[in-house]
Copies of this chain bind each other. A is one copy, B any other.
Amino acid sequence: MFNIQEIDADRLETAANMLKAIAHPVRIAILKHLEGGKKLTVTEIHELLGIEQSTTSHHLGILKDKGVLCSRREGKNTYYYLKHDILSQIVDCLQRCTCEE
């Protein structure tokens, strides 16, 4: 037996975790680079953003773990890409909400 409140609480947790995964300047930058179905390797992102390789990998891991990104290994490279293209909406929405005032 389980009640509505718990389900709701679980979904709130999930939603919050997904959002928390995105809510970081580096990770938003990553998402912007992956918009439109693009696939990039860890090294490409690490060079593109000018941050440490391990830091990059950590961030990508968080995004993947929370269901924001997927990854596919191809030889020595691992390509990361958006799991739900819809998620670009969030970034877009933010951009609209943060350009004024």
Contact = CB atoms under 8 A, between A and B. Distances in A.
A23 to B, nearest CB: 4
Contacts of A25: 9, 12-13, 15-16
B18 A19 contact: no
Contact of A15 (B14, B18, B28): B28
A14 B97 CA distance: 10
**Number of copies of this chain that the complex holds:** 2
Given A16-B23, A24-B16, A28-B19, A93 B98 contact: no
Given A9-B25, A19-B22, A67-B98, 19 more contacts: A11-B95, A11-B99, A13-B25, A14-B98, A15-B25, A15-B28, A15-B94, A15-B95, A16-B25, A18-B98, A19-B28, A20-B23, A20-B24, A22-B23, A84-B96, A84-B97, A86-B97, A89-B93, A90-B90
Nearest 6 CB-CB pairings of A with B: A19-B23, A12-B25, A20-B23, A15-B94, A16-B25, A23-B23
